[in-house]
Amino acid sequence: MKRFTLIIMTAALLFAGCGSSGESTAGGQSAAEPTDFSYAPVTVTTGTTESAATDEVSLEDLAIDPPYSFNPDEMLPSDFGDYFKTQYNSVTSTYKLLAGDRYESEVTMIKSPVDGPSVYVIAGIHGDEEAAWQAGKLLKKISIKAGTLYIIAPANKYGAVSLSRLIDSKDPNRVWPGDKNGNGAEKVAASIFADVKEKSPDFVFDLHEARIISDDRDFLGSSLIYTTLDVFPDDLFMDIIDDAQNGIICNHKLNSYSPGPAGSVNRTITEKLGIPTFTVETFRGYQMEDRIHDQLDIVNWVLKFYGLE
Ligand SMILES: [Zn+2]
């Protein structure tokens, strides 16, 4: 059984990566980072995935969020990798959550005339995790061959503008299922949770990014987080970990962790709605194009599994 091969590192999640206690960041830099920056080489591939050259780089020494000089708004998902190239006659529309409110956000719905499963992508509930919501924005441009795809990107619109993980000084990934009469973070969480509950998708993505915590060196890296394997069909979770391990998808191998923290998207949707959910984390020390590539590769893998691609 594949699941017995899984190493579960529960304690690390309490402190690591994007699960860390909330510092209010602007621009994603912290004072404790090294001043002598080094950057990982770009390893984006468009065909057979190569083993990443970054294996030889000390990840702890990489600067967070290397600068980049391209505009994802002017690009397509297929500019980042060998996926999402086939055109299907699905229809794309949008609808609002919290319409007219200060915290209004927009969901993109891509619907195929062919019946099939539905997948819901919550991209960037932490606004400073840019590759997460950039990947989500790129996904709005795809077509699907069956079923329905919902995308909210950036899920934390205000945080994305200022590159802050927070809304009104609160972590929007620790207050789920939220409160429609609460603070900004709680209202945003409640609005997305209600929409996911109503749409009742077959699978939910929770796209994030991870960074090094300098003082204790807990390290999330590129990883997938789940709350319980019981909700996943077949060996979905372990199969995708294996494919990343074997270089079939993603430029970087994926760690796995469980469970999602209390009040998180992942844990709440899994436990309250019983929907297969995993959190994707790409490491912010890698180049932006590399991180977007891996986010899209993982989403593509799952969309293929469910027959949307
Ligand atoms: Zn996060």
State residue 44's pLDDT score.
Answer: 67
Q: Strand, coil or helix: what is 219? A: coil
For residue 40, the model assigns a pLDDT of: 74
Distance CA 87, CA 301 (A): 17
pLDDT score of 34? 43
The answer to whether residue 56 sits within a structural domain is no
Q: Rounded to the nearest whole angstrom, what is the distance from the C-alpha of residue 112 to the centroid of ligand 1?
A: 30
**Residue 296 burial (C-beta neighbours within 10 Å; 0-12, 13-18, 19+):** buried
| pLDDT per position as a tens digit, 9-66 | 333 343 344 654 433 333 334 444 444 556 777 776 544 444 444 455 677 778 889 9
247 CA distance to ligand 1 centroid (A)? 25
Please, are residues 1 and 234 in contact by the beta-carbon 8 Å criterion?
Answer: no
24 Cα–ligand 1 center, Å:
13
**Ligand 1 centre from 88 Cα, in Å?**
32
Question: 126 C-alpha to center of ligand 1: Å?
Answer: 5
d(CA 126, CA 132): 9
CA dihedral 223, 30, 57, 282 (to 10 degrees): 20
Residue 292 makes CB contacts below 8 A (sequence gap 6+) with: 72, 80, 131, 134, 135, 138
- Which pLDDT does position 7 carry in this prediction? 35
Q: Residues of the chain whose pLDDT is less than 50?
A: 1-17, 20-35, 46-54, 214, 217
Question: Separation of 209 CA from ligand 1 center, angstroms?
Answer: 5
The CA 114 to ligand 1 mean position distance, Å, reads 34
163 domain-assigned: yes
CATH number at residue 89: 3.40.630.10
> How much distance in Å is there from the Cα of 91 to the middle of ligand 1?
30
Is residue 41 in some structural domain?
A: no
Residue 141 lies in a domain: yes
pLDDT tens-digit map of 187-205? 999 999 999 999 999 999 9
CA of 282 to the centre of ligand 1 (A): 10
Instruction: Give the total number of structural domains in the chain.
Output: 1
Distance 22 CA to ligand 1 centre (A): 10
For residue 18, how far is its CA from the centre of ligand 1 (angstroms)?
A: 4
What is the domain extent for residue 294? 72-306
Q: Report the pLDDT value the prediction gives residue 200, as an integer from 0 to 100.
A: 98
Q: Is residue 96 part of a domain?
A: yes
- Look at residue 66 and tell me if it is in a domain: no
Structure tokens at 160: 């994305």
Distance between Cα 166 and ligand 1 center (Å): 10
Q: Across-strand partners of 38?
A: 62
How close is the Cα of 100 to the center of ligand 1, in Å? 26
pLDDT at 59: 73
- Check residue 63 and give its pLDDT: 83
Which DSSP letter does residue 239 get? H
Structure-token pair, residue 38: 């080094």
- What are the backbone angles phi and psi of residue 110, rounded to the nearest 5°? -110, 115
Q: Measured in angstroms, how far is the CA atom of residue 264 from the centroid of ligand 1?
A: 10
